[in-house]
Amino acid sequence: MSAGRSGSVGAREVRELVAMVLERPGKLSRALPVVVLVGPRGAGKTALLEDADARYADRVPRVLLDFAAVPVDITPAEAFRRLARGLRRYCPQFGRLPFPLVDICTAVSVAADGTSSPESPPPGQDARVVSELVRPVLDLALGSSQWLSAVDALLKVIDIANRRRVLRRLGTVSRGQGDARDVMVALREAVGDGAVGREVVDRVVARAFRADLRAAFSGWFDRNRRTANCLVLLDNIHLPAGREFLKVLAATADRGPDPMAVVAAGGQWDSAWDVQWQRPGIPATRFADLPLPSGAAGVTQVLERGVPPEPPWFLVRVGELSGRDARGARPEVHQESILAKAPTFVHRLTGGLPWAVHQVVEVARGLPREAPVEMLRTLFTITHGDGDRTTTLVDRGERYLLLDGGISRAEVDDLTVASAARDLGLPVGTPTSGAGPLRSAEALGAKLVNNFLLDRADGEPTRLVLQPWLRHVLLHRLAERPDDHRDSWDKVHSRYRRYHLENQRPVDALYHGLALGDVDAVVRHLDGMLRAPLDRAAAWAWIDDFEAITTAPNRLPKDQEPREQVEGLIADLDVGGVLPRLVVARWLQQDPTGDPAERLRPTIAASVELIAGQARGEGAIVLRDRVEEYAQWR
């Protein structure tokens, strides 16, 4: 689990955060940020929005707009019209919210264009009829110094079309009062020359939308019955239309607070957030003064303070279920399937990514419950129905997280090579004449960062690592390549080991050596560190090296019980003692498919205890403190 993903926000925290931004203390609007749920594909962002939509049905006016389900060329103006259409639906206690200024903008656009989109018909009337009503008023407005009076007449037309009494809440536009007048002035300028830019129309409609909302919550009667903000839910805002909408939303938030809580979800980073937030997946040495998207701890602090975060954006990281939540996703499967024998397996394998949890549980559900738990070691090779075809977890994970997310097949191949390294900041590719690799990982790394698939490693904020499930998928893809492949398992790890040796990085070189099966070199390195008396710093250095090296991936056979496999692997080693058993046991146990039920934990704890008993100096205390942690490793 990486530092960036640790403590990812779950459904409970999102529900409490939504409840907070819906509140209207003193029956007044307050400055609120746009709450943005960010995370990779499969993080459950859409499910969280749908949960909020269902939770507040008939409780507050709410609308859910998914930018993946609308035309790709939808304009921000049309998006605001759709939001108005959703919020004007009847809601108990709130009644129907009127949007007369948005209606005017719609009617004027119809009259000016002479056409009507079936997606945004004029309110309450057939497009042709409303166009005929509006055009004379519009002509008079644009050609007369009394144009505000003409628009006042237009308001009456809209009022009649909607059969609503809303004019008294807006005031008389002809007197030049408030938000309504500002919108009408902007609207006149927008259509006056007949060649208006789209950006102007977008902002006019956005301001009309905001003005209508403020008017709907003004006055003693409406302010007292409309006791919560409206809820606007926006999904897939990372798509081009969503990004354009957010720009207009932010650009028009300058007229005071609105009675509206906006909760959005996006699967890619938006550069508009750079001024307030730091991108996950960028080393901590850069932009250190900006916060990362808030995890569970950050959201909890906001909730405890009871004060909404500062506008314009509040980014919330989602996408990592806890071990308990991963088991709770399908509790009947975890209790009645082979997974009951390996309660931590799903979370360790997936990193808690909700989509991946579902995929693994579905495959495991089809395995015989009475089968030995070691069958889970072969999970990546089991085929499973996927629509009209049969695929493996590796096929589906690669397609869903990478190919469907805009990463090319060539980039996936490069990333498969890069997954073998401890640090994604390294170059990838095929070497020439024994030199370093050819291609730089920067361009590929940027895509991973923007898609929330790259993060900082635990305890090493300058080192970047892949999302756990994605890395397991890619490493299995690398392991299944034939030995004569130009980027086979052995060739890739050999290149990386040579690269690190040439650059004086012994721990990384030993990591790749262990991936190639060189246990002896690892044992000699760790044993050499124990020969001298250990102070506390030396003991922690030994633990750091031991942990870093044994995170190496493996391509070991999956047909054995893990404890038997450990004994078989150490039987032919050149070095003896307890250290080889510890190294191999921890190596297998760090891989979820190497030790699904974590049966090697007692072996690891007993070995560390023996080593601590033989160590000299205060560092032995540090090693003893680790024994219990290894015994209860989760």
Residue 211's H or E segment, with its range, is helix 198-216
Q: Which segment of 183-192, 490-499, 535-544 scores lowest on mean pLDDT?
A: 183-192
Band of the pLDDT at 633, cuts 50, 70, 90? low
More confident site: 163 or 301: 301
Query: Per-residue pLDDT averaged across 438-445, rounded?
Result: 63
Residue 486: predicted pLDDT: 94
Compute CA distances 618 → 532, 537, 538, 545, 624, whole Å: 12, 9, 10, 18, 10
Q: Structure tokens of 45?
A: 């962002």
Least confident piece of the model among 286-300, 360-374, 476-490, 509-523: 286-300
pLDDT bracket for residue 425 (50, 70, 90): low
pLDDT band of residue 59 (cuts 50, 70, 90) is: very high
407-424 pLDDT, tens digit each: 899 999 999 999 999 887
pLDDT digits (tens, 9 = 90+) for 129-168: 444 545 555 554 444 444 444 455 455 544 444 444 444 4
- Compute the distance between CA of residue 499 and CA of residue 518 in angstroms, rounded to an integer: 17
Q: Are 100 and 213 in contact (CB under 8 A)?
A: no
pLDDT (mean) for 284-292: 72
Would you state the pLDDT for residue 189? Answer: 58
**Structure-block tokens of residue 139:** 């002509």
pLDDT band at 426 (very low <50, low <70, confident <90, very high): low
Per-residue model confidence (pLDDT) at position 156: 52
Cα separation, 351 vs 576, whole angstroms: 35
pLDDT band at 181 (very low <50, low <70, confident <90, very high): low
What's the mean per-residue pLDDT of the chain?
83
Amino acid at 96: R
474, with CB counted inside 10 A (0-12, 13-18, 19+), is: buried
pLDDT above 50 (res 432): no
Q: In the CATH scheme, what is the code of domain 1-76+227-320?
A: 3.40.50
**Radius of gyration, alpha carbons of the chain:** 30
Alpha-carbon gap, residue 33 to 311, rounded angstroms? 4
Q: For residues 134 and 139, what is the distance between their CA atoms, to the nearest angstrom? A: 9
Q: pLDDT > 90: what percent of the chain?
A: 55
Of 16-30, 185-199, 569-583, which range is least confident? Answer: 185-199
pTM above 0.75, yes or no: yes
Per-residue pLDDT, 286: 57
Angle between helices 519-531 and 506-515 (to 10 degrees): 140
Q: What is the pLDDT of residue 169?
A: 42
Count of C-beta atoms within a 10 Å radius of residue 177: 12
Quick: pLDDT tens for 337-371. 899 899 999 999 999 999 999 999 999 988 998 89
pLDDT at 182: 60
**pLDDT, average across residues 90-108:** 83
**177 pLDDT higher than 50:** no
- Please give the Cα distance from 55 to 22 (Å, whole number): 13
Which pLDDT does position 187 carry in this prediction?
A: 58
Look at the chain and count its residues.
634
Q: Give one DSSP letter per residue of 366-393, joined into a string.
A: TS-TTS-GGGGGGGGG--EEETTEEE-H
* Residue in the block written with tokens 């609503």: 164
| Domain definitions of the chain by residue range | 1-76+227-320, 95-225, 323-397, 506-634
| pLDDT bracket for residue 197 (50, 70, 90) | low
| 539 three-class SS | helix
Q: CA 496 to CA 401: how far, in whole Å? A: 25
- Cα–Cα distance, 230 to 222 (Å, whole number): 13
Q: Choose among 239, 305, 242: nearest CA to 20.
A: 305
Q: Which helix (H) or strand (E) holds 64?
A: strand 62-66
How distant, in Å, are the alpha carbons of 89, 133, 173, 622 from that of 155? Answer: 21, 11, 9, 77
185 falls in which pLDDT band (50, 70, 90)?
Answer: low
**pLDDT score at 129:** 43
Q: 103: pLDDT confidence band, cut at 50, 70 and 90? A: confident
Is the link from the previous residue into 312 a cis peptide, with omega within 30 of 0? Answer: yes
d(CA 417, CA 210): 51
Report pLDDT for 570.
Answer: 92
Going along 405-553, which residue ranges are E strands?
454-457, 460-466
**Distance of alpha carbon 381 from its chain centroid, rounded?**
28
Q: Confidence class of residue 200 from pLDDT cuts 50, 70 and 90? A: confident
Whole-number pLDDT of residue 434: 42
Angle, helices 578-589/601-614, rounded to nearest 10 degrees: 140
Question: Where does residue 572 fall: left (phi above 0), alpha (psi -120 to 50 degrees), or beta otherwise?
Answer: alpha
Partnered with residue 386 across adjacent β-strands are: 389
Residue range 95-121: mean pLDDT, rounded: 65
Band of pLDDT at residue 2, cut at 50, 70 and 90: very low
Count H helices, E strands: the chain? 28, 9
pLDDT in the model for residue 107: 67
Segment 389-407 shows an average pLDDT of 92
Three-class HEC string of 217-236: CCCHHHHHHCCECEEEEEEC
